[in-house]
Amino acid sequence: MPEPISFESFFEEHRSKVFGAMCLVTGNRQEAEEITQDAFLRLLERWDRVARLEDVTGFLFKTAMNVFRNRSRRASLAARRSLGLADYRDDLAAVEDRDEVVRVMRPLTAHRRAALC
């Protein structure tokens, strides 16, 4: 098992490489910078485990690509929603609606609740 390295030295060594790769993937320097920051933040949050991996650099690039994919999916879904093209279900809203119906119907008798359903 390789000797764990410090996050700071790993960051200094690999930041520009990840940023460059994300520039190529996204075609946008600002988005590439945000993805790079998010990827390193995710590694930092788990650094005690990540530092012991055999291929930390590979894990970093995989994390950066996952961040990119997640951002792309969210942007695509937001665009479809704004255009009314998405079959979007808001599960939280459905739960809240059901909860409200239950609260409103609770004081009714069983016979009246059955009549409404």
Q: How far is CA 62 from CA 10, 17, 41, 79, in A?
A: 16, 13, 14, 26
Mean per-residue pLDDT, 85-108:
74
| pLDDT tens digits, one per residue of 28-39 | 999 999 999 999
Greatest extent of the chain over all pairs of C-alpha atoms, in Å: 72
CATH number at residue 48: 1.10.1740
Residues 98 and 42 in one domain: no
**DSSP assignment letter at 4:** P
Give the percent of the chain with pLDDT over 70: 92
Average pLDDT of the residues of the chain: 87
pLDDT of residue 85: 64
**Closest C-alpha to 44, from 2, 75, 14, 3:** 14
Q: List alpha helices for 1-117, DSSP H.
A: 7-26, 29-45, 47-50, 56-83, 91-105, 110-116
pTM for the model: 0.66
Domain that holds residue 106: 88-117
